[in-house]
Structure 1
Amino acid sequence: MVDRTAQPERTMGHTLSYAVNCSILFTELPLPRRPNAVRAAGFDAVEFWWPFPDAVPGDHEIDAFIGAIRDAGVALVGLNFAAGDMAGGDRGLVSWPARSAEFLDNVAVTVGIGAQLGTRAFNALYGNRVDGVAAEEQDELAVRNLAAAAAAAAEIDAVVLVEPVSGAPRYPLRHAADAITAADRVERATGATNVALLADLYHLTVNGDDVEAAIARYTDRVGHVQIADHPGRHEPGTGEIELDGQLTALQAGGYDGWVGLEYKPSTTSTQSVEWLPRARRAAQH
């Protein structure tokens, strides 16, 4: 393993902007206090997995979440649609027949939050394969549900993200090409062009994708980027992924969006962002 933790003031070669994923970082704090902690650490933007236990939470819960973002003075640049019980192994509702209605109900809530906060990227986790349902049937359902999400997102000039995921054996999207195929199916069926690839460089690496080749081929289809090092899924510099080179290649290919810090801190959350000089934490665009 390459240990770069002794060089916290490394300067990254690209000038992309970073957002902190508050569903995996700063979890030592109650959720409403995390955006303020991110702001205190010098960042301007956050992203979240679905932050509520229910797909359709009460108005007071939604208002409290929106208030926490606004009070901290940070931008919410990415938000997941409801994805089921993530801790229990669920990985999305998009292709899950028994929960399709729940997903569609959630779309309105999620995009509604985005409309209030200026969020322009929503991650639709595809869902695991389900026993007793043909893969083709699940994929057809996914097209319909992604199309519905894309139509709602288009109303606020936003994109729906499709993400390859690791560590979930029954999740069918593993490589960048799998997510692109899902997006292409939606475009062929409906004409929607706002379904994009979420390029999580950690998940792609763990799944054995050729990340450099995927960047070269699909940068123009990337709607959002997330990073963690491997092995360990910790902060950059604790593993072996050449994240700086990959991010530089993405930027050289025309990507100018956000990079989500979606890693498990190897120490405290505050210490785990020290790899990035404080001057680089504020938005670069």
Structure 2
Amino acid sequence: MQFSANLSILFTEVPFLERFAAAKAVGFVDVECWWPFATPVPEEAELQAFLAAIERAEVSLRAINLYAGDMPAGDRGVVSHPGTEQLVADTVDVVATIVEATGCRAVNALYGVRPAGVSHEIQLATAVANLGRVAERLDPLGVRILVEPLTRGENGDYPVTTIDEALEVIDRVDHPAVRLLFDAYHLHNNGADVVQDVVAWADRIGHVQIADSPGRGEPGSGTIDFDAFFTALEVSGYDGFVGCEYRPTTTTSESLAWLTELRGAQAPAMRSGA
């Protein structure tokens, strides 16, 4: 099983660009993050600083979020918002540069909360059109585009909260590069049996992320049966990365005890066979 550290939520003890080295220092060789810039199109110096931090730490970027709007203000994506076609296209051009420089192969396109006065049908049609264009741009680079259900009540009026709702979007796009992001935390919060579902939907999953519930802490801090989940994930045949996207209940390094227990003396150097 291959684990990547989500540096937007782990290693927050240090500034963002220092987290790549911090992850490597405790053994991670694979990382991921949310959109790492304040704007849809960063200044060239900001982009190059991001790429340099990855290269300097000698880690591999495995997944990144597409620009998701003003997250602190409540945005959770823009692909379903009417009028964002050029915004999405500009952001995807930045993503393509990152992909070509790093080999990243997964991009999470958060759907977006429902704008006031916009119907479900219009929002869905906008998302389908935008995601289709994203897929056409990034699929030739070997990238999977991900659609992620999020926890009800934590993310505003976000319409995609279940696997079925995510698959409605994915099936409407009808492109093989567009796949499900299976986040055990969000799906468990919304009533899914994540142990059964990760096997049942294995052929639709493009990326997996984990955090315990309640609290979104490290595995073992909540009630999800991660022993059963990891066993099911192995049984499912999933061979991608598992993103550690949790908020540590202690320091990040101390929160990795679950990973040490899972992998024994080899943890947390987490590539298969590492």
> Is TM (by shorter chain) over 0.5?
yes
Quote how far apart the aligned CAs of 1:214 are.
Answer: 2.2
CA distance in 1, matches of 2:96, 2:163: 25
Asked if the contact 2:30/2:62 (under 8 Å) is kept, the reply is yes
CA distance in 1, matches of 2:199, 2:69: 33
CA distance in 1, matches of 2:71, 2:156: 14
Quote how far apart the aligned CAs of 1:217 are.
Answer: 2.1
Asked if the contact 1:46/1:74 (under 8 Å) is kept, the reply is yes
Quote how far apart the aligned CAs of 1:254 are.
Answer: 1.2
Aligned to 1:284: 272
Quote how far apart the aligned CAs of 1:114 are.
Answer: 1.1
Aligned to 2:79: 94
Asked whether 1:63 is paired with 2:48, we answer: yes
Aligned to 1:247: 230
Count of aligned pairs between the two proteins? 266
Letter in 2 for 1:19: S
SS of equivalent residue, structure 2 residue 73: coil
Aligned to 1:11: none
Give the counterpart of 1:178 among 165, 178, 188: 165
Asked if the contact 1:44/1:281 (under 8 Å) is kept, the reply is no
Aligned to 1:40: 25
Give the counterpart of 1:131 among 116, 125, 132: 116
SS of equivalent residue, structure 1 residue 136: helix
Asked if the contact 2:144/2:179 (under 8 Å) is kept, the reply is yes
Quote how far apart the aligned CAs of 1:210 are.
Answer: 2.9
Quote how far apart the aligned CAs of 1:281 are.
Answer: 2.2
CA distance in 1, matches of 2:210, 2:34: 15
- Relative CO higher for 1 or 2, CA cutoff 8 Å, sep ≥ 6? 1
The farther-off stretch of 167-176 and 272-281 is: 272-281
Aligned to 1:209: 192
Quote how far apart the aligned CAs of 1:177 are.
Answer: 1.6
Structure 1 residues without counterparts, runs of 5 or longer? 1-15
Letter in 2 for 1:199: F
Structure 2 residues without counterparts, runs of 5 or longer? none
CA distance in 1, matches of 2:70, 2:85: 15
Cα deviations by residue, 1:148-190 (Å, 9 ceiling, x for unpaired): 1111221211100100011124111111121122111111xxx
Aligned to 1:3: none
Quote how far apart the aligned CAs of 1:48 are.
Answer: 0.5
Cα deviations by residue, 1:211-236 (Å, 9 ceiling, x for unpaired): 23422321111111000001110001
Give identity over the alignment, percent: 45
Give the counterpart of 2:69 among 72, 76, 84: 84
Letter in 2 for 1:194: A
CA distance in 1, matches of 2:8, 2:162: 23
Aligned to 1:151: 136
Quote how far apart the aligned CAs of 1:251 are.
Answer: 2.0
Asked whether 1:162 is paired with 2:158, we answer: no
Normalising by structure 2, we get a TM-score of 0.94
